[in-house]
Amino acid sequence: MKKSLIALAVLASASAAYAQSSVTLFGIVDVTLSRGKGNGVGSSDRTQLTTSGYNSSRIGFRGTEDLGGGMSASFWLEAGVNPDSGVGQATNVNNQLTGTNPSCSVAGPITTPCTINAQGSQGLTFNRRSTVSLGGGFGEVRLGRDYTPQFWNLTVFDPFGTNGVGTTQTLNSSRGGPTAVRASNSIGYFLPGNLGGFYGQLQYSLGENPRNTVNRKDGDGMGIRIGYANGPINVAGAYSRTRFLTGDIKSANVGAQYDFGVAKVMAHINRDRVNNGDNGRGGLIGALVPVGPGEIRLAYSTYKNKAVAGNPRSDKLALGYVHNLSKRTALYTTFARVKNRGGAAQSLGGSVTSANSNSSGFDFGVRHSF
């Protein structure tokens, strides 16, 4: 009888522990037919079936365990995928270009790292997010690869969510280097969600170089973001710094959104500066307008590099529409046109355009989430 009672107690305890834990499989598959057009000498157009025209394609696993006393432990593993080819997206191990694929350029810290190797054989990596967390009334402590604080304002206050040909120029032309979007080896802290609308994030990341080398601080970084969201208003400011021997990269931005009911209007300004003198600035203003089962997206964004002779500048106008077939499936289309000045040669949709010439891009795709 005692053995039966003990067995029942063990089973009840195991069932309670299981009920307090959860694991979720989630993801997005977004495929778009993209067309880019360039102009001028040496220009070329491009048509391709690509990904992430509306939302970034991904597959992930996340889970939470209730530890009792208001505390919980959680994990999040999220991998970027390219469903047009089945190839996974690459990651960065040390917040430096040496931590990208061997086929990437290592010309300097402000060169944008490539995301997939030349052979197209990149396996699945949890490049988008890979974290473990402890949370409670004090907030959340998060360890691993995660979004950097200054990136949030660029994507949250962009009607196109930094995806597709409509992406804000403040990210396309950002001098933010390998940590412009995410940082590996990071230690993060998030304020609790019961502060009357105030929210915030602190982050410190490690380049993990030997301490006896001249570039020992390369890839070390820090960032902070503070915001307030209540009712129709959302406003936030952020600052980050990543250290490099060739010049520290500093980024600062502020963004805001107001929901008028008939439309959400948003804007942000961004400034990037490198200690060696390379710097630029830009901004965006845009709106999301609900129409029946869909939404119109429009934005104007600009970015100027003040460190180069002529002050290269690119201005973009983008217009798009999303039609929701259900809560998980949507059709979308976007058209964008960029005007280059001062020697700039920004192109869209994988095309090539000459300096001071215009470029246009078009996306048409389908997004399914699960």
Rounded Cα–Cα distance for residues 173 and 36 (Å): 18
Q: How far is CA 98 from the centre of its chain?
A: 21
Pairing of strands 198-205, 182-190: antiparallel
Residue 349: per-residue pLDDT: 96
- Asked if residue 95 lies in contact with residue 219, where contact means CB atoms within 8 angstroms, the answer is yes
Rounded Cα–Cα distance for residues 244 and 202 (Å): 20
Backbone angles phi, psi at 10, to 5 degrees: -65, -45
For residue 10, is pLDDT > 90? Answer: no
95-99, 101-105, 166-170, 220-224: range with lowest mean pLDDT: 101-105
Residue 275: per-residue pLDDT: 80
Amino acid at 320: G
Q: Tokens at residue 96, please?
A: 């430096």
For residue 14, is pLDDT > 60? Answer: no
Q: Pick 178 or 121 by higher pLDDT.
A: 178
CA distances from 224 to 182, 193, 204, 231 (A): 13, 17, 9, 24
State the maximum Cα–Cα separation within the chain, in Å, rounded to a whole number.
90
Burial grade of 190 (CB within 10 A; 0-12, 13-18, 19 or more): middle
36-45, 87-96, 275-284, 295-304: range with lowest mean pLDDT: 275-284
Residue 113: per-residue pLDDT: 39
SS3 149: helix
Q: How far is CA 311 from the centre of its chain?
A: 27
Rounded Cα–Cα distance for residues 160 and 261 (Å): 19
For the chain, what is the total number of helices (H) and then of strands (E)? 3, 18
Q: What percent of the chain clears pLDDT 70, i.e. is strictly above it?
A: 87
Please tell me whether the overall predicted TM-score, pTM, comes out greater than 0.85 for this model. yes
For residue 174, is pLDDT > 70? Answer: no
For residue 209, is pLDDT > 80? Answer: yes
Question: What value does the mean pLDDT take over residues 174-178?
Answer: 74
Average pLDDT of the chain? 89
For residue 278, is pLDDT > 90? Answer: no
Pairing of strands 139-147, 182-190: antiparallel
Residue 109: per-residue pLDDT: 34
Residue 17: per-residue pLDDT: 45
Q: Which of 277-281's residues contact partners 24+ apart within 8 Å by CB, and which partners?
A: 277/247, 277/307, 278/110, 278/175, 278/247, 278/305, 278/307, 279/175, 279/305, 279/306, 279/307, 280/173, 280/174, 280/175, 280/304, 280/305, 280/306, 280/307, 281/306
Rounded Cα–Cα distance for residues 176 and 274 (Å): 9
Burial grade of 286 (CB within 10 A; 0-12, 13-18, 19 or more): buried
pLDDT tens-digit series, residues 351-370? 999 999 999 999 999 999 99
pLDDT category at 331 given cuts 50, 70, 90 is very high
76-85, 92-101, 310-319: range with lowest mean pLDDT: 92-101
pLDDT category at 323 given cuts 50, 70, 90 is very high
SS3 61: strand
- Residue 337: partners with Cβ closer than 8 Å, 6 or more residues away: 316, 317, 318, 348, 358, 359, 360, 361
Question: What value does the mean pLDDT take over residues 99-123?
Answer: 48
Burial grade of 8 (CB within 10 A; 0-12, 13-18, 19 or more): exposed
Detail the DSSP E strand segments found in 210-293: 221-230, 233-242, 249-259, 264-274, 279-291
**Domain map of the chain by residue range?**
32-369
Residue 279: per-residue pLDDT: 85
Rg of the chain over Cα atoms, rounded to whole angstroms, equals 22
Rounded Cα–Cα distance for residues 20 and 26 (Å): 20
Rounded Cα–Cα distance for residues 324 and 322 (Å): 6
Amino acid at 350: G
Residue 206: per-residue pLDDT: 97
Residue 5: per-residue pLDDT: 44
pLDDT tens-digit series, residues 19-60? 457 999 999 999 999 999 999 999 999 999 999 999 999 999
Closest CA to 250 of 224, 268, 271: 271
For residue 130, is pLDDT > 90? Answer: yes
Q: Which CATH superfamily is domain 32-369 in?
A: Porin (2.40.160.10)
